[in-house]
Structure 1
């Protein structure tokens, strides 16, 4: 992956470069799934965090949990989740917009004073399309897209995942390498200058 490709993964449609990684251990909770799917989600989190060299934990000392994943059938269900509007103050108008757009997923990040990811909320409306996606693929895709503040256009043309012979779905090697470079301790937790992509490229080069 060259510098231009790296830059594109963190350049938003507005033209702004915006990068962030988690600045604390991830304390996850998943709502709306059975034990089997919960295990798959946990496995995907463990695998990606291990690859990135980032920590998972049972409890965040400040927030309790900081990575919430909601599975549901209709956006209206979010209006009835107790206290969710306290975590997401603009919940009602957001749900209205998602219903109007017929969206099946949405992701919200919160950041700390240093610009690092402090919390992430993932909403998955299990419509016909998402319901047809294998649980392992869906879990891995959502975890990967939640590990960094990617561009809003980063994966519109190409998934971060790939099929390998035999039908298994895996993380594309270049995306895995980019995540590892982003979590290198010498790299900043957040960046708004495109020169950051040059540093990422250098870390990738050192790893090869």
Structure 2
């Protein structure tokens, strides 16, 4: 990928650059799925975390679970989740906006004092189209998009996944490379200077 292509992955609609990675082990919890699908989701999380060279944990000492993933059929179900309004500010108005926009997914991040990701909430509405996809593909897509703070338009033109000739959906190699580069120990936990993208791109060229 060129530096401009890498920069676009972390540049928002307002033109600002913002990168962040997890600064603590990821302790996930998933709601709204069967035990079989739960195993698939946790497997996808483990695979992406291993790709990044990061760590997982059973619990977060401060939050218990710091990655909460919700699967549901309709946005109106979210306000019914006990105590979710305490974790997600303005949950009611947010749900109304997402429902009106016909959104199928939404991610909310929280950050620590260094700017690193400390918690994330993933909301996935399973419409008819998504319900037809393999659980592995849905799980991998969400885990990839929560391992870094990508911009809201980063994957607007192209999914982070690619389809093999046999129909299997896999992570695009260039996106895998960006994830690995972003978690390089020499790279910062967070950055708002577009020059950061040059450092990411240089690591891609070196195959690091």
How far apart are the structure 1 equivalents of 2:67 and 2:130?
A: 20
Q: Give the gaps of 5 or more residues in structure 1.
A: none
Structure 1: 4+ residue segments shifted above 6 A = none
Corresponding residue for 1:151?
Answer: 151
Corresponding residue for 1:118?
Answer: 118
Q: Deviations over 1:108-134 (max 9, x none)?
A: 011111100111100011111221221
How far apart are the structure 2 equivalents of 1:13 and 1:39?
A: 35
Q: Give the gaps of 5 or more residues in structure 2.
A: none
How far apart are the structure 2 equivalents of 1:89 and 1:154?
A: 24
**Superposed CA RMSD:** 0.9
How far apart are the structure 2 equivalents of 1:126 and 1:170?
A: 20
Corresponding residue for 1:160?
Answer: 160
How far apart are the structure 2 equivalents of 1:145 and 1:106?
A: 10
How far apart are the structure 1 equivalents of 2:102 and 2:171?
A: 27
Q: How many residues align?
A: 208
How far apart are the structure 2 equivalents of 1:203 and 1:106?
A: 30
How far apart are the structure 1 equivalents of 2:151 and 2:98?
A: 19
Residue 162 of structure 2 aligns to a residue whose secondary structure is strand
TM-score, length basis structure 1: 0.98
TM-score, length basis structure 2: 0.98
